[in-house]
A and B are shown apart, each in its own frame.
Chain A
Amino acid sequence: MRLTLRVWRQAGPRDAGALKQYEIPDVSPDMSFLEMLDVLNERLERQGDRPIAFDHDCREGICGSCSMTIDGRPHGPQQGTTTCQLHMRRYRDGDTITIEPFRATAFPVVRDLVVDRTALDRIIQAGGFVGVATGNAPDANAIPIAKPDADRAMDAAQCIGCGACVAACPNASAMLFAGAKVTHLGLLPQGQPERYRRVLAMVERMDMEGFGGCTNFGECHEACPKEISLATIARLNADFLKASLTRRDS
Chain B
Amino acid sequence: MGWIAGFYRSTIGRKIVMAATGLLLVGFVAAHMTGNLLIFRGRDAFDAYSHFLQGLGGLLWLGRGILLASLLLHVHSAWTLTRQAQAARIDGYAESDPRAATRSARAMRWGGVLLLVFIVYHIFHLTVGSVHPDFRRGEAYGNVMTGLGVSWVALFYLAAMGALALHLRHGVSSLFQTLGVNHPHLNPVFAKVATALAFVVPLGFAAVPLAVLFGLVR
Task: Name A residues whose Cβ lies closer than 8 Å to a Cβ of B.
Answer: 6, 8, 19, 69, 71-73, 77, 98, 100, 103-106, 109, 170-173, 175, 203-204, 206-207, 210-219, 221-223, 230-231, 233-241, 244, 247
B73-120 interface (Cβ within 8 A of A):
81, 84-85, 87-102, 105, 108
A239 to chain B, nearest CB (A): 8
Specify which of B88, B100, B176, B180 is in contact with A105 (CB 8 Å cutoff).
B88
Quick check: B10 and A203 within 8 Å, CB to CB?
A: yes
Residues A237 and B178 in contact in the complex (CB < 8 Å), given A103-B91, A106-B88: yes
Residues A213 and B12 in contact in the complex (CB < 8 Å), given A170-B85, A219-B100, A230-B182: yes
Whole-angstrom CA separation of A89 from B170 in the bound complex: 37
Quick check: A105 and B87 within 8 Å, CB to CB?
A: yes
When distances are taken between beta carbons in the complex, the residues of chain B under 8 Å from A230 are 177, 182
Quick check: A217 and B100 within 8 Å, CB to CB?
A: yes
Quick check: B89 and A240 within 8 Å, CB to CB?
A: no
When distances are taken between beta carbons in the complex, the residues of chain B under 8 Å from A106 are 88
Specify which of B85, B93, B170 is in contact with A69 (CB 8 Å cutoff).
B93
Task: Name B residues whose Cβ lies closer than 8 Å to a Cβ of A.
Answer: 3, 6-7, 9-16, 81, 84-85, 87-102, 105, 108, 170, 173-174, 176-183
Specify which of A109, A173, A206, A222 is in contact with B99 (CB 8 Å cutoff).
A222
A23 to chain B, nearest CB (A): 19
Specify which of A69, A173, A233, A239 is in contact with B88 (CB 8 Å cutoff).
A173
When distances are taken between beta carbons in the complex, the residues of chain B under 8 Å from A172 are 85, 88-89
Whole-angstrom CA separation of A122 from B173 in the bound complex: 32
Specify which of A175, A207, A234 is in contact with B181 (CB 8 Å cutoff).
A234
